[in-house]
Amino acid sequence: MAGRSKGRGRSQFTFSVDALGFGRGDSLPQSTHTPSPLFPPMQFRPVPLTTGEEVDYMLALKQELRASSKNLPFHIREARTKTDVARYSDKYQNGEPKNSTIEWSPDWSRLPKELCIKVRKPRKTLIGAKPLLQRKPKVAAGKEEVLQKLETLEKREQEHHSEEEEEEEKKKQNEEEEEPNVDEDYDEEEVEDETDYIMSYFDNGEDFGADSDDNMDEAVY
């Protein structure tokens, strides 16, 4: 009570003025009316960056890593939805990534089952009929499986099975092998394409089964 009557009527602060070191007469700093500036002027300039061979090398490494990581299959781009009319050339221009395929093949045994997605096989552009003829005997010279496959393909041509079943079979056969052999895949697709004009115009069946997202019990291979 006694203490309070000292400053009665005059300006009094909650803090002791003496301890702070400025007298009554000094004005308090002005209150701010605007937010502080975005880039306030600095009192001291920053120290220049260190230079040297090591620094330059690490800089080059960093930029290289950044550039190369854009080309790796880990850089995931969302597939663009086709707003245009579906064109025939789409079948031959499958450079675009699709949502339902993964561009690299991880070790699925180390990942939970629910993450399993079909691995996309790189589709090579058609080179021409000549390499195909050279390629066929070369590949067939190797394995019995390939011979079997060629026989089944021939049979299929003759029997005119529906395309979707063929796709399923081929994909299963591909998956049964230990590593997807790009050779054979290329062959099959080529052979299939050669007979395309005889078959009716169809969807190539890659989207079969990929749209059924809700059914989680089946692992999509």
Partner 1 sequence: MTTQEVRLCGLLLQEHFGDVVEKVGTHLIRCGVLTLRALAHETKLALDLVKKSLCVLMQHGMCTFGAGRRGPAGPVEYRISCERILHMLRYPRYIYTAKSLYGDTGELIVEEILQRGQMTMSSTVKTVADRLTHNMPEGQSMDYSEVVSAFSQLVETHFLQRCPPVASTGSSNSGAVDTPPPAVAQPSEPESHPDCYRVPYINLTGQGKRRRSSEDGEADQRAAKKAKVDNNECGDEGIFWQVNFERFHLHFRDQAIISAVSCKLDQTSGEIVRTMLRMSEVTTPANAAFTQALSANEIFRALPSNYNIARPILDQYLTLLVDDPMEFVGKTGDSGGGMYVVNLHRALANLARATLESVVQERFGSRSARIFRLLLRKRHLEQKQVEDFAMIPAKEAKDMLYTLLSENLVQLQEIPKTPDHAPSRTFYLYTVNQLPTARLLLQHCYKTIGNLIERRLYETKENKRLLEKSQRIEAILASLQATGAETAQLTEVEEMITAPERQQLESLRHHINKLDSSENQVDETIFLLESYINSTQASR
Query: Contact positions toward partner 1, by CB under 8 A?
Result: 3, 14-16, 18-21, 43-44, 46-47, 49-50, 54-55, 57-59, 61-63, 65-66, 68-69, 72, 74-78, 99-100, 102, 106-115, 117, 127, 131, 135, 138, 142, 178-179, 181-183, 210, 213, 219
CB of 158 to partner 1, least distance (A): 29
Task: Determine contact, residues 184/170, Cβ cutoff 8 Å.
Answer: no
Please state the closest distance from residue 148 (CB atom) to partner 1, in A.
17
- What minimum distance in Å lies between the beta carbon of 101 and partner 1? 8
- Shortest separation between residue 103's beta carbon and partner 1, angstroms: 8
Q: Which is nearer to partner 1, 123 or 196 (CB)?
A: 123
Is 199 or 210 the residue whose CB approaches partner 1 more closely?
Answer: 210
Task: Count CA atoms closer than 13 A to 142's CA, side-chain side.
Answer: 10
Cβ contact 193:126 at 8 Å: yes
Rounded CA-CA distance 114/62 in Å is 35
Q: Which is nearer to partner 1, 88 or 112 (CB)?
A: 112
Of 142, 146, 183, 149, which Cα lies nearest the Cα of 166? 149
